[in-house]
Chains A and B, each alone.
Chain A
Amino acid sequence: MEKNYMKLEFLSKSSNESFARVVVAAFASQLDPTLEELSDIKTAVSEAVTNAIIHGYEYGEGIIILEAKIIDDEIEILVEDKGMGIADIEKAMEPFYTSKPNLERSGMGFTVMETFMDSLEVESKKGEGTKVRMRKKFKSLSSKE
């Protein structure tokens, strides 16, 4: 069984959105993903990190924790913040729902994560923070075996 793990902590600055997705893409590249698979996980990571910045910390300063685990041909990504938490997860996950309509957000963040990854779990406690866990299997690797 192939196993690998990484953990990264960074400030909740919007300039770190590209940093986070580049890191995950570089880590995932050992699974020899297709361009589309790579672009899917980059997009999902970008959405989760953006949520942590805008909603978790509401543009304030905080730490975002990014973890990635590889087990065989699957990657598991965790994006965690210690921010304000989500009051109503079900509502937050509805397509096109945004708690900040004045910001011109599309309300598609969770929908993108759900669509581009194989699974999505959101754990949140008001006042304590949010954990977003996503998994994706890389078909390119299994098809070679």
Chain B
Amino acid sequence: MSTDRDVTRIVRSWLHEDAHEDADRVLNSVLDQLETTTQRRPWWPARRFLSMNNNARIALAAAAVVVVGLIGYELLIASNVGGPPPAPSSTPSAPTASELPALPMPGARVSSAGEYGWTGELGSVAGMHNVVVDDGTSAFRQTQIVFAVENDCFGSPGGSTPTTVTAAGFHGLYVEAYEPPDERIVMFTEQGLETTGAYALAIGDRTLCVYLSWDPTTTAAELAAARAVIESLRAEPVGATSIRITFTLEAGWDTG
């Protein structure tokens, strides 16, 4: 019988096989670029902080808190100047086949905000990620939105009791901490750690499933941004079984 040790041995042996990599070309290219690549000097005053007495440190820390607080207050005020977001323009009760343009999914990484869309037949799925890599570490986190046209969005057990929800003006049901029924909806990350909120929205006589997934480390702001994408939805039935949607994406999203 095989053991974990067998697998470890096999994997280690495979990893150590000679793959004939030769980094000379890469190294030469790097050395060529040194002349034009300026070193970044540290912004902190070297060792000065360590030599401060405790009172000075406390004063500096307090000043930093005040500055950060002021900046945060200003941002908060600025963000509320525009008032509440406009109500969604679409209404689920009176879809018009010609109302929405057939827009493409974003594909490559979105560099600036824009309007995108998708037309899905019954059983089809389309999704997108917003991957955020921390500047200071290699850690990354993501939010993911997947759209699906299905008759049943909650095809497997798990998650909270469905509650009624209205998203982007469409009525439906919502389940959180949901185990998606479809492998295509699981995030391409640490499986089992993400949370998925599943919406089943009535689009005329059809159902649009929207699965919003996020990592444990996803920030509240990133989650709010993803929910804003959902709130920007406009949707209508098209053809015999399809649904057409459009939505607004901020920079950073992509379908990879």
Are chains A and B native binding partners rather than an unrelated pairing? no
Binding site for B on A (CB under 8 A): none
The interface of chain B, by Cβ under 8 A from chain A, is none
